[in-house]
Amino acid sequence: MKDAKLLEMFGLRDENAIAQAEAKYGAYCRRVAMNILGDYRDAEECVSDAMLSAWNSIPPAAPKNLGAYIAKLARNSALDKLDARRAAKRGSGSAETALSELAELASLVGDPAEEAEKRELARAIGDFASGLKPHKRRVFEARYARFEPVGTIAAHTGRSEENVRVMLSRMRSQLKEYLVKRGFIV
């Protein structure tokens, strides 16, 4: 089913929209949540939360990319669940590692009082990623948007794990320079 039809169903408050969205994007959202949490039941709960959030936010929201929107809702739910745990005992640790890699770059990360600056930082990181070559952007997004482990990224891209680590390290250095040029404190 096309996204336009799904958005129309959400707009008309057709409850079948949730089932159709789950059928189309559920597996992807589960994978995103699993990469963060490492627990299937928690990932399932995050997908359910994402579908409910989509139901509650569409309309008025009309995302241009419904799959990315629902995946973002699932990722946010998983990150909230991870914060609630306050320990990586049950998780795979991939999310903590990926977040810590980026957290080193900007002093704005984790400052809840500066919402506008955080949005500006997110926009700057998105602009940086958009300027990367496609193969580098896929690696960057796999690691920092979907929290995929380095080994998984290496397997999907046909590169060695060491090559992926080096690529990510160089991209973080480039991102640091990019952010400094735009006035962020690093």
Q: Which CATH class is domain 3-85?
A: mainly alpha
Q: What is residue 169's DSSP assignment?
A: H
pLDDT at 180: 87
Alpha carbon of residue 46 to chain centroid: 13
What percentage of the chain has pLDDT greater than the value 90?
A: 41
- Please give the residue that has the higher pLDDT: either 69 or 92: 69
DSSP code string of 81-137: HHHHH-S-SSS-SHHHHHHHHHHTT-TTTT-TT-HHHHHHHHHHHHHHHHTS-HHHH
pLDDT at 101: 66
In whole angstroms, what is the distance from residue 55 CA to residue 60 CA?
A: 10
Q: What is the mean pLDDT of residues 43-63?
A: 89
CA 173, 68, 155, 143 torsion-angle sign: positive
Among 148, 109, 149, smallest CA distance to 125 is for 109
Q: What is the mean pLDDT of residues 90-119?
A: 57
**Residue 184 clears pLDDT 80, i.e. is over it:** no
What percentage of the chain has pLDDT greater than the value 70?
A: 83
Tokens of 139: 């690696």
Alpha carbon of residue 62 to chain centroid: 19
Residue 51: pLDDT band (50, 70, 90) is very high
In whole angstroms, what is the distance from residue 154 CA to residue 151 CA?
A: 5
**Residue 73 clears pLDDT 70, i.e. is over it:** yes
- Please give the residue that has the higher pLDDT: either 88 or 103: 103
**Residue 93 clears pLDDT 60, i.e. is over it:** no
CATH hierarchy code of domain 94-181: 1.10.10
Where are the domains positioned within the chain? 3-85, 94-181
Indicate the SS3 state at residue 160: coil
Indicate the SS3 state at residue 146: coil
Using a cut of 0.75, tell me whether the model's pTM lies above it: no
Residues 6+ apart with CB under 8 A from 40: 30, 34
- For residue 100, count other CB atoms closer than 10 A to its CB: 10
pLDDT at 103: 61
**Residue 106 clears pLDDT 60, i.e. is over it:** no
